[in-house]
Structure 1
């Protein structure tokens, strides 16, 4: 089965737009789990424009499924992850001013850095995942860093899917085959939605987890959060 982890950054964005604590990020995370999601993902950025570092701390005591913290492993982020000790940390090479994640790691150029950071997290008992593009060479490089998993960056799939699903998924299938051969678990995320998720799951062998935020929250404006979560679960199983 492929697990659904819901990224709640957009909930925090809505809260921050007015100040106060509405909607309550912690309460929404609990509701999302109650509706059937199998994980909660947060991606705190240095400017804390959506998820705040304190949110990540507050969620630790209430998340009962898998807890995934994503981010660029700058010292402040590393300290946060070691303090919270989530189920999984996903390393993303975001620039400080990035609106959203826009590329995977060059796992060869950054090999020494990634090995050091991953070793630190694994010594703390935290599962590690690396955000990568669907390129076999980068997947092979990820395996050499000591990571447990990769997260395939799926923006190109989402953009191409509407025109040519087979072409859109081809590189992801190939990358997944390599990941399976070198012993890496496979996660995926970015612009996956109700329209394209089933085809992706069917064509990426041994897909363990998807992390979905922006699309899921947007779809929930029309269909309702509980309903949308169950629609994803149906497509993933």
Structure 2
């Protein structure tokens, strides 16, 4: 059964982005992670990218020693990252697609197209003792393939819904997808993943407004949120930003699944 209280994983990547922009020692994502936990976060999430554009190896090493909740390491399915994961042994590993030219992760893994390779990689990752999660689109074929290769958790990419639900003030920005259609994909996808016995997480593009609809979907047990919290923290402080997101998630959960007929 889905958890009564949705769990929050705070992604501190963009604290490191600010630090790397000037090449300083601050702000420190390790310190931000501690503040997030004090504010009630259930998990700390970091993406160690191949190009090290934000989180550094040093950050992951220290976080492994200091995180008191759960450390979720997002990483590409490469030999380099496997070696690091075997050394760090995070509590959870989320395999994500990665392209050097992208600003942030764009879309989910294609488990269908990489079924054999990912299945073999997951077997090797199991040596870390970590829970295994796959970051995928809300596509039924991808969800079924994830269950087939042994994923315990799927983090469903919520970016298309979040973009479709956004209110842009820049007239140059347009988005082709329909808000209700994208929300329906999340509802159906989350339900399917839960039926297949996987824990269901949500991530990408989630903010204090659109989280209300996403958290209302009861199958989503966990939320990994970074940019919106870091942006809010720059104005109100990190602990308050985390607490406000936890409150927003619970408010969404309390209001129930949007338009139950969409499950049909």
TM-score, length of structure 1 as denominator length: 0.95
Say whether 1:187 aligns with 2:201.
yes
1:217 corresponds to which residue? 230
Which of these two proteins has the greater Rg computed from alpha carbons?
2
Change (3 A) 1:122 1:198: same
Conserved? CA contact 1:121–1:127, under 8 Å? no
Q: 1:211-232: CA deviations, max 9, x gaps?
A: 1111111122223221111111
Conserved? CA contact 2:15–2:29, under 8 Å? yes
CA distance in 2, matches of 1:225, 1:123: 35
Say whether 1:60 aligns with 2:64.
yes
Secondary structure of the residue aligned to 2:66 is coil
Superposition RMSD in Å: 1.5
Change (3 A) 1:162 1:49: closer
Conserved? CA contact 1:5–1:39, under 8 Å? yes
Runs of at least 5 residues in structure 1 that lack an aligned partner in the other structure: none
Conserved? CA contact 2:35–2:238, under 8 Å? no
Q: 2:28 aligns with which of 24, 39, 59?
A: 24
Structure 2 counterparts to residues 107-118 of structure 1, below 5 A = 107-118=111-122
Conserved? CA contact 2:7–2:221, under 8 Å? yes
Runs of at least 5 residues in structure 2 that lack an aligned partner in the other structure: 168-177, 251-264
Give the number of equivalent residue pairs.
236
Say whether 1:146 aligns with 2:150.
yes
CA distance in 2, matches of 1:121, 1:195: 36
CA distance in 2, matches of 1:162, 1:124: 39
TM-score, length of structure 2 as denominator length: 0.85
CA distance in 1, matches of 2:92, 2:60: 13
- CA apart distance, 1:165: 5.0
